[in-house]
Amino acid sequence: MSEYKTLFEKLAKDRNISVEEMRSIIVARIETGINDPDPIRRAQWEKIPHTGDVPTPEEWLRYVVEKLEDEGLSDLLRWYPNL
């Protein structure tokens, strides 16, 4: 069994930062994308289903995983423990 409960824990551990810091980085990237001056880029971010004004890291992750699965790219979701 994995020592991580969430992908965010794994990403934080890999970067030697806290989960809260990792979530803050993801939130900042989402906010940058959703506020992009390029309407095409902004529209891509706005496609992410979300309940608030901006997608949460969990909503973003769910969207990405579902998109990969829908496009037949779920092999990209395999766990690579040595990376």
Determine the pLDDT at residue 24.
Answer: 96
- pLDDT tens by residue, 17-37: 999 999 999 999 999 999 999
User: Where along the chain do its domains lie?
Assistant: 7-77
- The string of DSSP codes covering the chain is --S-SSHHHHHHHHHTS-HHHHHHHHHHHHHHHHT-SSHHHHHHHHTS--SSSS--HHHHHHHHHHHHHHTT-GGGG---TT-
- pLDDT tens by residue, 28-79: 999 999 999 999 999 999 999 999 999 999 999 999 989 988 988 888 777 6
